[in-house]
Amino acid sequence: MLDRKIAPPIKDAIEFNLHLKPYTFFTLDNGVPVYTIDAGTQEVIQIEFVFYAGNSFEKQKNAAGATNFLLKNGTSTKTAFEINEAFDYYGAYCSRACYNETAVVNLSSLNKHLDKLLPVVKEMITDAVFLEEELSTYKQNTKQRLSVSLKKCDFVASRLIDAYVYGEDHPYGTYTHAEDIDALNTAALKEFYKQYYVNGQCIIFVSGKLPANLKEQLNNNFGSLSLKTFNHQLSTINTAPAAQKKYRITNDAEGVQGAIRIARDFPNRHHPDFMKVMVLNTLFGGYFGSRLMSNIREDKGYTYGIHSYVQNHLQQTAWMISTEAGKDVSEATIEEVYKEMKLLQEELVDEEELLLVRNYLIGTILGDLDGPFQIMGRWKNLILNNLDEIYFYDSVQTIKTISAEELRELAKKYLNPEDFYELIVI
């Protein structure tokens, strides 16, 4: 019998053996790969159609984003209202998003309505019409949002720092001007749509409590389309970083806050240091108990929050420190960031602090494995980066075993102030 006078033993997260539930794989009749996770107790399903249709492939700025957005704004048989009503009637949700290499159409639905909804998604992917009035509304709304955003120092800083690190002509560094939005036309969008959606490379991720006839339903709707299999063949794009390293920009003369970005180029997930640097980054500025938070937020009170992270790009990437601080303490904030870099290069992290970081990272992974959608999110990130489950288990092992000495050597290698671009926008 349970003795409630005795507290149960507390186990550190690193003592758990994590298990990544394997996916089930099949291909449609046209060769399109489908990855599925069958789990959960609710009769719900999420289907993500991922295309190589991001801004890396566009010939005209913002064509990829506009095309992706307008997929839901009319076909030859349905208006934008009718498409949205079709999803709303069945309590479903269909979203779309555009990134650097990929673009996504995401359907969340009850299983029992899948047969009614998949034909609507098929229609969006194969029969979008890009009406002039829909494009005109999109341009007006996008320019209005851009106009508002350009008044915010954090928005300006985020787009400028990417341009400095990668070069403004690089897909990761490019940014949109109002005249780019004005230049969009339906002919360009239709051409992009035909090449990268109708005849594009596609991969499908499905998660939830899956119906027995899932493969049949997907095949009936998408197996005969002219879609191609996802081949992971991306053209290497050369970066052209800015020659200057330090920038101070006044965006609002009356502004009282400075948006600070400090960034350097960094290898992607295939580099042998990447897993270890994820631990170092967490210690440095990757969670609420990090060195940067403890110093700059808790001790100095310069900011409400400061974070560091490695961008999740498929090709080149960057290590970024991001915060907003009062303009009178922005320079001091940067000095404190560099002081923390130096401390990591000179001193070994103690075991208590390292254990806290290990437990935090393992706990984060545990949260990511709680439910079919989260599990598929893990798999999706691995698959799109052309990695497998070995990478997952190696990452867990790295978190559990990396030493203080290794972290110090990584800091000496990567956390050198002279390698970082430095920007303050007020």
My answer on whether 302 and 405 are in the same domain is yes
Residue-averaged pLDDT of the chain: 93
Whole-structure pTM value: 0.91
pLDDT (0 to 100) of residue 296:
96
My answer on whether 179 and 300 are in the same domain is no
pLDDT at 17 > cutoff 90? no
My answer on whether 225 and 261 are in the same domain is no
pLDDT (0 to 100) of residue 300:
93
The domain boundary residue, chosen from 200, 229, 258: 229
Q: Which residue has the tokens 């709304």?
A: 141
Instruction: Tell me the HSE value of 258 on the side-chain side, using a 13 A CA sphere.
Output: 22
The domain boundary residue, chosen from 180, 196, 229: 229
Higher-confidence position of 242 and 380 = 380
State whether residue 246 is helix, strand or coil.
Answer: strand
Q: How confident is the model at residue 2 (pLDDT cuts 50, 70, 90)?
A: confident
**Helix, strand, coil percentages, rounded to 5, for the chain:** 45, 20, 35
For the residues 404-423, what does the mean pLDDT come to?
97
Number of CB atoms found within 10 A of residue 41's CB: 8
- Look up the domain containing 284 and give its range: 246-425
DSSP element (H, E) containing 126: helix 114-127
The domain boundary residue, chosen from 229, 263, 286: 229
In a domain, 5, yes or no: no
- Per-residue tokens: 365: 């992974």
| Residue 25 phi, psi (nearest 5) | -125, 140
pLDDT at 238 > cutoff 80? no
- CA–CA distance, 402 with 284 (Å, rounded to integer): 15
Burial 63-102 (b: 16+ CB within 10 A, else e): bbbbbbbbbbbbbeebebeebeebbeebebebebebbbbb
Structurally, how many domains does the chain consist of? Answer: 2
pLDDT (0 to 100) of residue 258:
94
CATH number of the structural domain spanning residue 57: 3.30.830.10
My answer on whether 34 and 142 are in the same domain is yes
